[in-house]
Amino acid sequence: MKTLRAIQLVMSYLAFSKLLMLGLLGVITANAWAQRVVPLEHRWEADPGFGDVWTIVREPRAKYLELEDLRSDQAIVRFEAAQNICLNYDRPGFRNPEKALKLLIEQLSKDTDSIHIRRSMISGACLLDDGSNAQTIWQAAKSDPVSASMVESFLIQWKSPIAKELWRERLADPKSTAWGLEKALDGLAVVGEEQDRSRCLDTLRLNRSTPIIRLAAARALGKLQTTGLLAIADEVLGSTDPDKHLLAANLIAQHDQQGTLKRLESILDQGPSPAQRVAAGSIARSFPDQGLALASNWAKHPDDVIRLAALNLLRSKPSEANTRLQATLLADPDAKVRKTARLQLLEIANNGLRPIVDECISENLASEAWQGIEQAIVLAVELQDRSRCPTFLKLLDHPRAEVNMHAGWGLMELADDPTIIASMAPLAMEFTAELEAGKHFSKQDFIRQSFLFEAFGKNRYAPVVDMLRKYIPKNDFKMGNLTRASAIWALGKILKDQDDPQLRTQLRERIFDLGTMNPENYLVGYACILALGEFGFLDSMGPVERHAIDSRDALSCAGRWAKAQIEKAAK
């Protein structure tokens, strides 16, 4: 039970984490996104670009609904219509939500359906409404405990006072369930009045209250009374309650008067992680200058949410010292923290502190932490810093996959110096020779190598053509399908101005092989279609047209694009 209570207390504060993260993401300005960069995106995903055709998981579209079925004479039809609204209301393509809500409210007003149909209709109405029809929905639901419990959550979300008297009655009733008390406290926290403060305080002090109820009471009281709770917080902190720091933090979280900061700092120093999150959030919101002074310690805090709070504070006061402190979090163990640090450094670099950010990138590239190297590579690409390419070249041998793959990607994105491109060629040729000899490589090696091939294609580097041709035959797929696709894409770029019938024949064979019993790889077929489109010869129209159908998959998009290119060139 103690473990369960701890879990429940932590879950109660996920909202703080979520809101903080949304705030951090929202601070990144348009300047930071001037250079669109997708880490580890292959060049053939963006050139030519077909949108989100590479999205593996697509959000299902809404099922077609006949909304008038809600008025059907048959109960089963009304039930299915209401259920379908619940299942489809937030999917793309859901049509006429206003009409759906109107019909649901109309049916709820009649009070003629069975309990199961009404529950479905109530659910649908709650999901579509913004609180404007709260009275009707609550009237339809309050006599059914199952529906009422669901609607209460929406009333709290809508900040509707309709159930306020019910919530007050629960707090005064010693027979109220724990769930009912928690819901009542959460409701009064958003719609309560001065008279409700004493009820919340009484619940907080009742020995019969469970830890979750006491927490809800502290949270509600803290929202209803934003001053004058320091004495009660001290009383709680001086008690033996195992959750005293979390309770006290919630009581004074909205306070900003003298004495509050001292208590919050004490909670931050002595309390458990959930309490520390509340205290840090309160300090950052109400005492930002003092929070900024604590940011160097927060940046080293074991809790990732508090490290995110440090980043948010540091961003508010641009300076060399604050920039360098943010840069230390590029190597943070938490992915959200290091990504946020990188985005903030990108913003800083675009707003006048580029030299300092450049120094921070250099320090991270030379560090031992793979996380910092990875983020520094991405940041360098976002800043289009081509001077980093020699370093990326050295990092291709880094033992950590995240580093060497990003290094290859960085070269593909930035490398345009003939010397750098020529330095990459021996590495690619050695890899190819070892593949031909039957050596087995890891997935990361194929990914890294594919980026080098794409760099050759972008720069139309002809000396590697003979090597790239070795990736065209299927050859039991031993040359790697990802590297084969990138090699063929690169050949399309390098040889686009040449007439090579033999090469076109090879690529057409790979496309025809897509439909055999042992089919060619999908990505390879995609790259072959793109390459034939680059060449623009009419003798390739046949296999290309087979895939130029009206569909959003990658192969069809490539087929339509290649067909248009061939028709335009008509060689």
| The pLDDT value given to residue 237 | 95
| The pLDDT value given to residue 57 | 61
CA-CA-CA-CA dihedral for 322, 327, 333, 336, to nearest 10: 80
Residues 6+ apart with CB under 8 A from 163: 138, 142, 152, 155, 187
Residue 49, strand partner residues: 46
CA distance 66 to 93: 13
Q: CA distances (Å), 458 to each of 430, 449, 453, in order? A: 21, 14, 9
CA distance 68 to 82: 11
- Using CB atoms within 10 A of its CB, is residue 400 exposed (0-12), middle (13-18) or buried (19+)? middle
Domain spanning 61-335, CATH class: mainly alpha
CA distance 349 to 36: 15
The H or E element containing residue 334 is: none
Write the DSSP symbol of residue 516.
Answer: S
Phi first, then psi, for residue 74 (nearest 5°) are -95, 125
Return the CA Rg of the chain: 31
CA distance 148 to 105: 16
Question: Are the CB atoms for 410 and 388 separated by under 8 Å?
Answer: yes
* Planar angle of CA 107, 110, 112, nearest 5 degrees: 95
> Chain-wide mean pLDDT for the chain?
91
Write the DSSP symbol of residue 74.
Answer: S
CA distance 415 to 159: 55
| The pLDDT value given to residue 180 | 93
- Give this prediction's pTM: 0.84
Structure tokens at 304: 């990732």
Structure tokens at 518: 């042992």
| The pLDDT value given to residue 205 | 87
CA distance 397 to 428: 13
What are the helix (H) ranges across 225-331?
A: 230-237, 244-251, 260-270, 273-286, 288-298, 304-316, 320-328
CA distance 58 to 65: 20
Query: Whose CA is closest to 468, among 429, 507, 441?
Result: 429
Cβ neighbours around 77 below 10 Å, total: 15
Query: Whose CA is closest to 421, among 373, 462, 380, 469?
Result: 462
Where the chain has pLDDT below 70, the residues are: 1-35, 56-59, 208
Structure tokens at 286: 């109400």
Residue 283 corresponds to which amino acid? Answer: I
| The pLDDT value given to residue 400 | 96
Residue 231 corresponds to which amino acid? Answer: A
Question: Are the CB atoms for 16 and 303 separated by under 8 Å?
Answer: no
* Residue 166: CA count within 13 A, CB half-sphere: 19
Rama region for 28: left / alpha / beta (φ>0; ψ in -120 to 50; rest): beta
